[in-house]
Amino acid sequence: MGNVYRNISILILSLVAAFSLQSVAYGKNPACEPSTGKTIHLKDKEGNLKQILTLAPNSTSSTVRTTLNNAITSVAGYPKDESSGSRGTLHLSKGTFTSSAFLLLKEGVTLQGTVENGNPATTICTESKSDPVTIKMASDTGVKNIILDGKRRTEDSEGNPKKYYSSRHRGIEATAIEQNKSTDDLVSTYPTSTLLRNITIEDTHIIGYEGYGIYLERVEGVTIKGSDPEYKRSMKISDIGYGGIGGYSVNDVTVQYAMVTDIMPGATVGSAQQSYGMAFSHRKDPMASPENQAKFPRSQQIRVDQNVVANNPT
C-alpha cells in the first residue's frame, strides 16, 4: 500500500510539474518591461563623442521613443563621409530601451549597442500599438550589437497556447516601397526605380516576431553577418512567424555566419502553411496586372554563405 501511495504522490508531483512547465512555456502574452537603459552616446563619423544623453529614471515608452528618434536626427545632421555615406553612430548603454513605436534610422546613422562578455547587452523592445516594426532603415545605415525583442504573442483571446503569424510584425524593415499599397497603386503613384542602398546588420539578435526577423524590399547592397563563423552565435534570428530573412526585388545581398531557428506557423497558401528561414524572391500580388507585376524584378546577386537554418517544421 505504501508503494501505491508513493506512486500516486509521484504522479501528482509530475502532473503539477508538467502543468507548471506549460505555464512557464506559454504564460500570458508577453509585454515589454520598463526601460533600464540609461545613456545614449552620439558620435560623429570618426567616432568622436559629440553628446551624451541620459534618460530619466522611469521614463515612459513615449519619452524613450522621442529621445531616440531625436538623437538619430541629431547624428543625421553631422557631416557625411563621402566614401561610405556614414554620418555617425548612436551608441546605447547596457539595458533595455522600451519604445512606444518604431525607430526611424536616417541616412548615414548606425545604431549600436553595448557588448558584455562577447554578447549584446542592449535590448530594444517596441510596443506594437501603432506600428509593429521595431527599426525602419534608410540608405547608408547600420544596426549592430543589439537585441530586438518583438514579444511575440503566445496565446489566443481565450488563453489557449498559440503561435501567431502576422506579416507586418517585423524586427528590421528596409524598404523603398510603401507597404500599405497594392502593386497596381505603387506603379501608378510611386517610382519603382527607387532603391535603398548600403545597409549593414551585424551581430544582432532578433527574437519573437510574428512576420519577419528582417524584411528587405527594393534594396541594393545589404550585408547581414555575424562575427562568429564557427558557432553562429553573434547573428541570430529566432522564434519568427514566417521568414527569418525575406528579400523582395533586392540586389547584391550577402548573408554570412548567421543562425535562423524556430520558424512557424507561416502563411496559409491553399491548404498548406509556408514559412522560410531565408528566402529571396519578388513582390507577388495576385490582384496585380502582369505588366505591373513585371516592374518588380526578381532578386539578384544573392550570396548566402556558411549559415545555419534549423527547426522550420512547415
- Rounded Cα distance between 7 and 15, Å, is 12
pLDDT exceeds 50 at position 8 = no
Q: Which residues of 253-269 are buried (b: 16+ CB within 10 A; e: fewer)?
A: bebbbbbbbbbbbbbee
159-189 pLDDT per residue, tens: 888 888 888 999 999 998 878 777 777 777 6
The pLDDT of residue 47: 97
Q: How far apart are CA 38 and CA 115, in angstroms?
A: 15
pLDDT in tens, 250-265: 999 999 999 999 998 8
Q: Give the mean model confidence (pLDDT) for residues 105-117.
A: 97
Q: What is the pLDDT of residues 198-232, one digit of tens each?
A: 999 999 999 999 999 999 999 999 999 999 999 99
Count the Cβ atoms, other than its own, within 10 Å of residue 274.
15
Provide the phi-psi class of 266: left if phi over 0, else alpha when psi is between -120 and 50, else beta.
left
Q: How many CA atoms lie within 13 A of 99 on its CB side?
A: 24
Listed range (8-12, 56-60, 91-95, 272-276) with the worst mean pLDDT? 8-12
Q: Per the omega criterion (within 30 degrees of 0), is the bond before 265 cis? A: yes
Q: How far apart are CA 170 and CA 177, in angstroms?
A: 15
Which one has a higher pLDDT value, 261 or 284?
261
Determine the pLDDT at residue 294.
Answer: 78
Q: How far apart are CA 135 and CA 92, in angstroms?
A: 14
Cell of 307: 549559415
| Structure confidence at residue 288 (pLDDT) | 78
Q: Which range (14-23, 69-78, 151-160) has the least confidence?
A: 14-23
Q: What confidence tier does 148 reach under pLDDT thresholds 50, 70, 90?
A: very high
17 pLDDT band, cuts 50/70/90, is very low
Q: What angle do CA 167, 168, 173 make, to 5 degrees?
A: 115
For range 14-39, the mean pLDDT? 64
> Quick one: pLDDT at residue 37?
95
CA atoms within 13 A on the CB side of 282: 14
The C-alpha atoms of residue 29 and residue 133 are separated, in whole angstroms, by 18
- CA–CA gap between residue 236 and residue 278 (Å, rounded): 12
If one compares 144 and 101, the residue with the highest pLDDT of the two is 144
Check whether 27 has a pLDDT greater than 60: no
State the cell numbers at 37: 537603459
CB 304 within 8 A of CB 246: no
Average pLDDT over the chain, rounded to an integer: 88
* % of the chain surpassing 90 pLDDT: 66
